[in-house]
Amino acid sequence: MNLDCERLFRDALDGEHGFPRSLLDELSQRFNEIQDEIRLRRLEGEYGFLDLGLQEATIAGLTTFADTAGQAFDHVLVLGIGGSALGTKALVNALRPRAWNELDDEAREYFPRITVLENIDPVSVSAALRRIDPRRVLVNVVSKSGGTAETLAQYLVVRHWLETAVGPEAAPKHLVFTTDPVEGALRRIADDEGIPAFEIPPGVGGRFSVLSPVGLLPAALVGIDVVALLRGARRALEAAAHEGLRDNPAALYAGLHWAADTRLGARTHVLMPYSDGLRELAEWFRQLWAESLGKRVNRHGEIIHAGPTPLGAIGATDQHSQVQLFMEGPHDKVITFVRVEDHGEDVLIPARSGQPEALEYLGGKTLAGLLGAEQDATEKALAQVGRLSVRITLPRVDAEEIGELLMFFQLATGYAGAWYGVNPFDQPGVELGKRLTFAAMGRPGYSG
């Protein structure tokens, strides 16, 4: 992947908006401090995702499981929420043929279909359970804490559904957990009932866990090349080993977005891939950026109410939806375009004689050519009116590129936490809602 940040600078925009070039020197000087902070936090057990590039034993274990037990099923049902679900959806969307579940066995090369039951909407849950054959399903319950109400409720519903269909003795054979190595209800159930359970390494939180067994197990089950994913992740980690800010793309991306927010009031950070296969990746990024950086207090306990608002958009579709706002609304956004060079497939737009003149220019071109031209034109149009943007170019959408992109965004988020001075790994803001839910549902100890 390649990162181009040119269109954040005043002299590449309208001469009025954007950064002066001197900002880079200023950020570079502060970068040593940021690096020291991250090194220190890492020693304290944070930034565990930095160790996910090399996981030989884990990969061996989960690919063996996927190639043996896993292939006895023709549907994988993933139960989880937030960081325990969004990464898997991003992987499947990017790296499996579109409309995977609608393909027949041969087109899926006999890999199973997959459903990620992210929410507890009773209509969606009922519909999924009506559609899936319980005799042919492997259920992967994913929860780092093992105590998330939504996931445990899904588990109880699905377990009952399984037991009703296959009987209480066979039901555990349809289950595999991904959870903490020691703590939590899922670990206890796994130990008590001999249910296979993969470990989420300590220090790796939900939204940073896509490249742990959280995302890798379902990925391996549906035939995604998990070794290539980690090879790509290592590329991003190697690029982040550079001490100079200009040579460290993730740190640069984070520093410039922090500065755009805090200096230029560009508080909305949009991720806009020009590929339907990256639609779910934009959703994954939204959670990563929002939950990691939206914080009331900084590391010193001072109240700051900081954090950018992330937004997802899809090119070219959202050119007919949100781009009007990006062009002419408030100057409060940075747009990250993700451009794909080779889509792996293209469609010729046929030339037709006897058509109105307005159609003629399209004939003989291709859809990929049109998509690329639209991305380029949108980026240039935004720059002309002083709108900030960044461009990430992916040569293609394959496991290695996606592994690199996912790790790049995780690194950027880790760096952004340091630029903002907040802890990117906690989420205290969602705890109160959880406690009130427990109280409302009558969980002992929460009645007050």
Backbone phi and psi for residue 299, each to the nearest 5 degrees, phi listed first: -60, -20
| Catalytic residue flag (residue 320) | yes
Q: What is the footprint of ligand PA5 within residues 64-83 (CB under 6 A)?
A: 81-83
Q: Compute the distance between CA of residue 267 and CA of residue 307 in angstroms, rounded to an integer.
A: 8
Among candidate residues 15, 51, 16, 19, the one with its CA nearest the CA of residue 390: 19
By CB under 6 A, tell whether 286 contacts ligand PA5: no
By CB under 6 A, tell whether 89 contacts ligand PA5: no
Active site residue: 280, 291, 400, 404, which one? 291
Among 55, 58, 84, 248, binds ligand PA5 (CB under 6 A): 84
Among candidate residues 175, 105, 187, the one with its CA nearest the CA of residue 144: 187
CB nearer to ligand PA5: give 184 or 255.
184
By CB under 6 A, tell whether 413 contacts ligand PA5: no
Q: Least CB distance from residue 206 to ligand PA5, whole Å?
A: 2
Q: Least CB distance from residue 427 to ligand PA5, whole Å?
A: 6
Scan for tokens 């747009």, then name that residue: 335
Tokens of 281: 């990746």
396: CB partners within 8 A, 6+ apart: 340, 341, 342, 343, 344
CB nearer to ligand PA5: give 348 or 430.
430
Q: Least CB distance from residue 304 to ligand PA5, whole Å?
A: 21
Active site residue: 17, 173, 242, 434, which one? 434
By CB under 6 A, tell whether 144 contacts ligand PA5: yes
Active site residue: 320, 328, 345, 357, which one? 320
As separate numbers, helices (DSSP H) first and strands (DSSP E) second, the chain gives: 14, 12
Q: Least CB distance from residue 269 to ligand PA5, whole Å?
A: 18
Q: Compute the distance between CA of residue 384 and CA of residue 327 in angstroms, rounded to an integer.
A: 10
Among 280, 291, 379, 400, binds ligand PA5 (CB under 6 A): 291
Q: Compute the distance between CA of residue 448 and CA of residue 366 in angstroms, rounded to an integer.
A: 63
Q: Name the residue with the smallest CB distance to ligand PA5.
A: 206
By CB under 6 A, tell whether 148 contacts ligand PA5: yes
By CB under 6 A, tell whether 417 contacts ligand PA5: no
Among 87, 134, 172, 205, binds ligand PA5 (CB under 6 A): 205
Dihedral sign from CA coordinates of 267, 240, 247, 314:
negative
Q: Compute the distance between CA of residue 125 and CA of residue 205 in angstroms, rounded to an integer.
A: 26
Q: Are 69 and 194 in contact (CB under 8 A)?
A: no
Q: Least CB distance from residue 203 to ligand PA5, whole Å?
A: 12
By CB under 6 A, tell whether 112 contacts ligand PA5: no
User: How would you class 18 by CB atoms within 10 Å of its CB: exposed for 0-12, middle for 13-18, buried for 19 or more?
Assistant: buried
Tokens of 285: 């990024």
Among 207, 257, 286, 391, binds ligand PA5 (CB under 6 A): 207
| Catalytic residue flag (residue 193) | no
Q: Interface with ligand PA5 by CB under 6 A: which residues?
A: 81-84, 143-145, 148, 151, 205-207, 291, 427
Active site residue ranges: 291, 320, 434
